[in-house]
Homo-oligomer: A and B are copies of this chain.
Amino acid sequence: MTYLDAIAALADPTRRVIIDRLRSGPLPVGAIAKGMDISRPAVSQHLRVLSDAGLLTVTPEGNRRLYAIAPEGVDALRRYLDTLWDDALAAFARAATEKAKENKDD
């Protein structure tokens, strides 16, 4: 049930910016914060939330810490949305056929 935290984590625009910066590959905290209009500690806190949600992995590299997108975390979210998608389509189709039946009864 880790996808619950993943959705909440992705809800913040700043955190989506961070995720976007990591799309091309792992980065240390400083590089992520560079050019963003919030302080480095704020970025650190966001990174904490994202990794707690299973969306990022951390690998200490000497002095620094490299953050990278965790494919499994993203996949958990995708699976949740897939079931939602399936149910939505099924409900949609069912409502459509019931509507057609109604009209026939007129």
Number of copies of this protein chain within its complex: 2
Given A7-B7, A68-B91, A91-B68, decide whether A74 and B78 contact each other with a Cβ distance below 8 A: no
Contact with B along A1-35 (1 / 0, CB 8 A): 00010011011010010010011111000000000
Q: Is the CB of A26 within 8 A of B87?
A: no
Chain B residues closer than 8 Å to A69, beta-carbon distance: 84, 87-88, 91-92
Asked if A58 lies at the interface with its beta carbon under 8 angstroms from chain B, I say no
Enumerate chain B residues within 8 angstroms of A13, measured Cβ to Cβ: 4
User: In the complex the two chains form, what is the Cα distance from A86 to B68 in whole Å?
Assistant: 14
The binding surface of chain A is classed by DSSP as helix
Whether B91 lies near A85 (C-beta < 8 A) is no
How far in angstroms is the closest Cβ of chain B from A27? 10
Residues A70 and B88 in contact, CB atoms below 8 Å apart: yes
